[in-house]
A and B are shown apart, each in its own frame.
Chain A
Amino acid sequence: MRRRVVITGLGVLTSLGIGKDAFWDALVHGKSGIRKISTFDTSHLRSHIAGEINGFDPLEYIDRKEVATIDRVCQFSIAASELAVRDSRIRLDKDAGVVVGTGLGGIITDDAQHQIYHAKGPRFVHPLTIPMSMYNASACHISQRFGIKGPGFTLSTACSSGTHAIGEAYRLIKDGYADVNIAGGSEATLSQGIFSAWCAMRILSRRNDTPEQACRPYSKDRDGMVLGEGAGFVILEELSRALKRDAPIYAEIIGYGSSYDASHLTAPDVHGQAMAIDKAIRGAEIRPEEVDYINGHGTGTSLNDKIETDSAKMIFGQSVYSIPMSSIKPQIGHTLGASGALGLIASCLSLRDNLIPATINYTEPDPECDLDYVPNTARKANLNIVMTNSFGFGGNNGVLVTRRFTPA
């Protein structure tokens, strides 16, 4: 008998708000968390804006004695997983698993310690630099916090990391290796050195004077992406277990697709993306036209939005024009390894409320991006099946398909 996997808890940290309610309320009301960067000087850089999580106090989640030895990305992971556990009202035991995705791990610690090395010398480098910055630190802290000893790992597939983490955790449950998983993505890359590197790639929006209107996915006048900090974690459970404890069920994961472009280090490829979508839809055992809404990757770069539009057309054919697709990135920024997890969480809340968040800042139709991007205003719609797209650097593609939960 097929094991069904449901999502029973949501934990969110974004520049729009902490916790699923603050996040969702701001999202559907079209608010933006993008501001001028406050934590370091950007005056000499090309970009000055991002989605910082300013209201985050790690001491609400982490002991004072520990907090200084935990990188910001890991602090986010701990907080978001704690929020997901609380939301799910679950009591975790040792058999639960944890799967974490992050694009760049503890890179703020790396950056800071490199600066200290060059400014002061090796004797001043923090002795815990390695365990603070290692990619698996988040999963390690989560396992310790909740006493989780089940299967788990950390993966890094750039901007699709969060999607792949949740997808692989879904498979662990579906295939019988675990009954419960904490899974998600986390990213904190806003430090001066790393931000300079993003600037040098010339893919960030130059609309520094209007941060809230800067990122414009699918709009003809889009001029690049905006970075954001964030973390999204979910509780995944095998259905019978969730029903037994009367857990809140947001959605059922029914399909997951993963693929490589095998073409370019940074430029997206339509065939690779289409392959991931196709795998997810086949795995879900649905017809493409049954998808009611796509939470898009929509970064706001010229190439990404066009290729994403083309890959959707390749799979959905003519029905693509009646499937709304929106991007939440103009509101929270591109949260890289967290973005797929946050997109999935938004998809869960869309299913719960029959409400599609808009693509804000949409000003001008682009003949190369001619789908229904839900411009500027959230929309009520009867939603049964929702797809979440993530397409990362390295040609990593991840797609999740979720369905409104029905017991039958």
Chain B
Amino acid sequence: MEDFDDIERQIRTIIAEELQADEKEIRKDSTIAELGGDSLKALMLITSLENHFNITISDEDAMKIKSFSAAAAIVRKLKRA
């Protein structure tokens, strides 16, 4: 079992909810597509991340959110900013 830090655990919960995926299936290298997501599910995920972490994700960053690790990296970057 991989170690998830606090932010990653929150993101994992959000992804599980938006993609209707099992949290246990979500790895750091999981892609949105592998978890059953398409462009619309990704859009819902991005909106949830924005609201949960109180951040604004630009279109450029939003385009990059194709995996768990990409989502985590962008959330961290914006939380630091």
A residues lining the B interface (CB < 8 Å): 200-202, 206, 223, 264-267
B26 to chain A, nearest CB (A): 24
Instruction: Specify the chain A residue showing the minimal Cβ separation from B38.
Output: A264
B62: chain A residues at CB < 8 Å are: 202
Question: Roughly how many angstroms separate A223 CA and B47 CA in the complex, as a whole number?
Answer: 19
Q: List 5 A-B contacts (CB under 8 A).
A: A202-B59, A202-B62, A206-B59, A264-B38, A266-B39
Point out the residue from A202, A206, A264 that lies within 8 Å of B43, measured CB to CB: A202
* Chain B residue contacts of A200, Cβ below 8 A: 43, 47
Could you list which residues of chain B lie within 8 angstroms of chain A, going by C-beta atoms?
38-40, 43, 46-47, 59, 62
A223 to B63, CA, bound (A): 13
In the complex, A202→B43 CA distance in Å? 8
* A206 / chain B contacts, CB cutoff of 8 Å: 59
Main secondary structure of the interface of B (DSSP, over half): helix
A216 → B minimal CB distance (Å): 15
Residues of B within 8 A of A266 (CB): 39-40
Residue of B nearest to A264 (CB): B38
Bound Cα distance A267, B41 (Å)? 13
A265 and B43 form a contact (CB under 8 A): no
Distance of A275 Cα from B76 Cα, bound (Å): 46
* Cα of A200 to Cα of B47 in the assembled complex, Å: 8
CB of B60 to closest CB in A, whole Å: 10
* A356 CB to nearest B CB, Å: 32
Q: How far is the CA of A201 from the CA of B40 in the complex (A)?
A: 9
CA distance A289 to B62 in the complex (A): 41
Q: How far is the CA of A200 from the CA of B59 in the complex (A)?
A: 11
B8 CB to closest chain A CB (Å) equals 24
Contact between B43 and A201 (Cβ–Cβ < 8 Å)? yes
- Looking across the interface, which residue of chain A has its beta carbon closest to that of B62? A202
Residues from chain A with a CB closer than 8 A to the CB of B59 are 202, 206, 223
User: When chains A and B are docked, how far (Å) is the Cα of A206 from the Cα of B59?
Assistant: 9
- Do A267 and B39 touch (CB < 8 A)? yes
Least CB separation from A224: chain B residue = B59
A48 to B: closest C-beta gap in Å: 15
Residues of A within 8 A of B43 (CB): 200-202
The interface residues of chain B lying within 8 Å CB-to-CB of A264 are 38-39
Chain A residue numbers with a CB within 8 Å of B39 are 264, 266-267
Q: Which residues of A contact B38 (CB under 8 A)?
A: 264
CB distance from B45 to the nearest CB of A (A): 12
Closest to B47 in A: A200
How close is B53's CB to chain A, nearest CB, in angstroms? 17
Say how far B24's CB is from chain A's closest CB, in angstroms: 29
**Distance between B66 CB and nearest chain A CB, rounded to angstroms:** 15
Closest to A202 in B: B59
Nearest Cβ distance between residue B65 and chain A, in whole angstroms?
12
Q: How far is the CA of A201 from the CA of B43 in the complex (A)?
A: 7
| Minimal Cβ-Cβ distance residue in A for B46 | A202
Instruction: A10 to B38: give the CA distance in the assembly, Å.
Output: 41
Measured between beta carbons, the chain B residues less than 8 angstroms from A223 are: 59
Q: Give the residues in chain A near B47, CB-CB below 8 Å.
A: 200
Instruction: Determine the distance from Cα of A277 to Cα of B59 in the docked complex, in whole angstroms.
Output: 33
| CA gap between A265 and B46 in the complex, in Å | 18
- Chain A residues in 8 Å Cβ range of B46: 202
- Closest B residue to A265 by beta carbon equals B40
Q: What 8 A-B pairs are tightest by C-beta distance, nearest first?
A: A202-B59, A265-B40, A200-B47, A267-B39, A266-B40, A202-B62, A202-B43, A201-B43
Question: CA separation between A148 and B59, bound complex, in Å?
Answer: 49
Bound CA–CA A23/B47 (angstroms): 38
Complex Cα spacing A200 to B43, Å: 8
CA distance A206 to B62 in the complex (A): 14
Please report the C-alpha to C-alpha distance between residue A265 and residue B38 in the assembled complex, in whole angstroms: 11
* A200-B46 Cα distance, complex, nearest whole Å: 10
- Which residue from chain A places its CB closest to the CB of B63 in the assembled complex? A202
B40 / chain A contacts, CB cutoff of 8 Å: 265-266
A223 closest partner in B (C-beta):
B59
**Chain A residue at smallest Cβ distance from B58:** A206
In the bound complex, how far is the Cα of B40 from the Cα of A267, in angstroms? Answer: 9
Tell me the complex Cα distance, A201–B46, Å. Answer: 10
A310→B59 CA distance, assembly (Å): 25
Whole-angstrom distance from the CB of A49 to the nearest CB of chain B? 16
- Inter-chain CA distance A237–B39, complex, in Å, is 44
User: In the complex, what distance in Å separates the CA atom of A264 from the CA atom of B38?
Assistant: 9
